[in-house]
């Protein structure tokens, strides 16, 4: 079974530029999560999708971050314009169920450096 | 302050020695999850605990949720280089609105 795929693995941009990250969850997983993990901290949930609907985006900085999962499969997270404090690893995870209890399957992450 | 506190922040252990990592919540835990992360990689699920007093093992790693369901400990017996990495606890609590909250992680280094 293929795992959660993320790309790109690494991205370096200058502040005020834009960037997009892509995630393809495990086949059949209804729920998809985007997390931001700043060095030395635990992951922070940015947005949770159930199929193609948003369950929780309360911590997504909507003035600069956007995410979509149009067909309920893969997802894109965009940052525009980027700030220095957006430097982090962006983790995508998926789960079979529709709640947060249970095992999450994580991708390897996309490491963003904003200069 | 963090809702989920992990201790220690980092740990250097001689290969073959035992070690314990703790995860303490300020709220009653509904579920406690242990994950392992290697540098530059995603998180790998280790185990989930839900009942007070519950104990689970995965190879040489054992985790327990205390009776009051506010603390979990993760114990590694006879540590090996493969155990090196960052151990993160995640939890859903009575206040987390079905979302997982995360500890900051414990960085484990195994000295050969």
Of A42, A101, A109, the CB nearest to B102: A42
- Residue B13: which of B73, B78, B72, B63 has the closest Cα? B78
**Do B41 and A56 make contact, defined as CB atoms within 8 angstroms?**
no
Q: What is the reported pLDDT for B108?
A: 97
**Of the candidates A46, A45, A52, A43, which has an alpha carbon nearest to the alpha carbon of residue A25?**
A52
* Residue of chain A nearest B39, judged by CA positions: A108
Q: Nearest-CA residue of chain A relative to B91?
A: A101
Question: What's the pLDDT at B2?
Answer: 58
Q: Note the Cα B84 to chain centre separation in Å.
A: 13
* pLDDT value of position A99: 64
Of A41, A56, A91, which is closest to B99 when you measure between CB atoms? A56
The verdict on A99 touching B (C-beta cutoff 8 Å) is yes
Q: Radius of gyration over alpha carbons of chain A, in Å? A: 13
Closest by Cβ to B104, choosing from A42, A48, A111: A42
Query: Which residues of chain B are within 8 Å of residue A4 when distances are taken between CB atoms?
Result: 42
The whole-angstrom separation of Cα A99 and Cα B6 is: 25
Residue B10: phi, psi to the nearest 5? -145, 160
Quick check: A110 and A100 in contact, CB under 8 A?
A: no
Tokens 């963003």 belong to residue: A112
pLDDT mean by block of 10 residues, chain A; 115 residues = 92 98 95 94 93 91 95 94 97 83 88 97
Q: Going residue by residue through chain B (112 aa), what tens digit of pLDDT does each one get?
A: 458 999 999 999 999 999 999 999 988 888 899 999 987 788 999 999 988 889 999 889 999 999 787 999 999 999 999 999 999 999 988 777 667 889 999 999 999 9
Using H for helix, E for strand and C for coil, what is the string for chain B? CCCEEEECCEEEEECCCCEEEEEEECCCEEEEEEEEECCCCCEEEEEEECCCCCEEEECCEEEEECCCCCEEEEEECCCCHHHCEEEEEEEEECCCCCCCEECCCEEEEEEC
Residue from A3, A4, A42, A97 whose CB has the most chain B CBs within 10 Å, to mutate: A42
Report phi then psi at B2, rounded to 5. -65, 140
Q: In the structure encoding, which two tokens stand for residue B38, read together?
A: 């290697």
Contact across the interface for B42 and A106, Cβ inside 8 Å = yes
Q: Give pLDDT, residue B29.
A: 85
Chain A positions touching B92 (Cβ under 8 A) are: 100-101
Residue A45 in contact with partner chain B when CB distance is under 8 A: yes
At A80, is the secondary structure helix, strand, or coil? coil
What's the pLDDT score for residue B93?
80
Query: From the CB of residue B84, how many other CB atoms can be counted at a distance below 10 Å?
Result: 18
pLDDT at A101: 63
Query: Residue A81's closest CA among A6, A7, A18, A2?
Result: A18
């Amino acid at each position: 079974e293929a795992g959660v795929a993320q790309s790109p693995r690494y991205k370096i941009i200058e502040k005020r530029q834009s960037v997009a990250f892509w995630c393809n969850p495990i086949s059949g997983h209804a729920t998809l999560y985007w997390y931001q993990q700043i060095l030395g901290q635990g992951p922070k949930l940015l947005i949770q999708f159930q199929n193609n609907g948003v369950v929780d985006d309360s911590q997504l900085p909507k003035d600069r971050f956007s995410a979509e999962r149009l067909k309920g499969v893969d997802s894109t997270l965009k940052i525009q314009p980027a700030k220095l404090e957006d430097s982090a690893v962006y983790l995508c995870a998926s789960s079979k169920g529709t709640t947060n209890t249970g095992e999450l399957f994580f991708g390897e992450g996309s490491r963003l450096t904003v200069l | 302050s963090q809702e989920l506190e992990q201790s220690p922040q980092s740990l250097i252990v001689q290969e073959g020695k035992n070690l314990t990592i703790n995860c303490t919540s300020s709220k009653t835990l509904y579920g406690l999850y242990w994950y392992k992360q290697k540098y530059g990689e995603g998180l790998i699920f280790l185990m989930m605990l839900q009942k007070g007093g519950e104990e689970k093992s995965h190879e040489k790693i054992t985790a327990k949720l205390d009776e009051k369901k506010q603390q979990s400990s993760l114990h590694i017996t006879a540590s090996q280089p493969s155990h090196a990495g960052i151990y993160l606890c995640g939890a859903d609590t009575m206040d987390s609105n079905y979302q997982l909250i995360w500890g900051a992680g414990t960085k484990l280094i195994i000295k050969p």
